[in-house]
Amino acid sequence: MMGGTRTAASLDDIVLAARRSLEERRRRVPAASMERAALGREPRGEAFAAALRSGPGPAIIAECKRRSPSKGLLRAAYDPAAIARAYERAGAAALSVLTDTPHFGGSIGDLEAVRAATTLPVLRKDFVLDGYQVVEARAAGADAVLLIAAVLGAELGPLAGLARSLGLAALVEVHDEGELVRAVEAGATLVGVNNRNLRTMGVDLETSVRLAAHLPPGVTAVAESGIRTRTDAVRLHGCGYHALLVGERLMTAADPGAALQELIGTKDERA
């Protein structure tokens, strides 16, 4: 997957595949069984939210993911539990785990492994389309779920409410001013601005810079995607972002923990 010309999957393709994967899991584990499993977990949604304001510098949500639709395989030797432990030692404030299987090569098992390996609060990052996935996140040990405004429409508010009722934090992801308005109207207190255009898969840090001026007071702001250097981290923090979600930069590094230290500023950056 690393070589040759790569055509990124469209957002519609990704969502369709995510829906099919969801239905397959729902057939294997009915909703009632999943709900019983979820009752055995005590999610820490408040701890996740608090970790994003643990400053004085930008808090880093360090991500575990095997591959991406735009770049293909990111890490051949992918051990999410070991990576999570390295992130914790390096000073991550929280963790993000890709659980989408069709396009990211992740699984609920990856989330469970990370939960067992670390005490840090954990975000389930996936294309959440249905309440089943929110309950599934709690059952697997997540403390928060990602809700993407661009794919949820009218379901955004109800799913955010369900997450809160289950003790999970909801990080609502937006890409433009209109989605930001919908996120706030849905009651979002954690807002992630994704610098990746989900239609073209292009990345532009100026998206976070532009939207920073529109973030209402009281919202915990997270910048996502395209953050590669300490300079990027300092700049976005200066724009008002409390936390940064970083995946590809860390996953493609020989030593993800050392790469995280560079972003945090506890290790000198190397060429």
Q: Which sequence positions are flagged as catalytic?
A: 63, 65, 125, 173, 194, 224-225
Positive or negative: CA dihedral 75, 114, 198, 23: positive
* Structure tokens, 59: 């808090």
* Structure tokens, 136: 């599934």
- Burial class of residue 144, CB neighbours in 10 A (0-12, 13-18, 19+): buried
Q: What is the CA radius of gyration of the chain?
A: 17
**Burial annotation 66-102 (CB, 10 A radius, 16+ → b, else e):** bbbbbeeebbeebebbbbbbbbbebbbbbbbbbbbbb
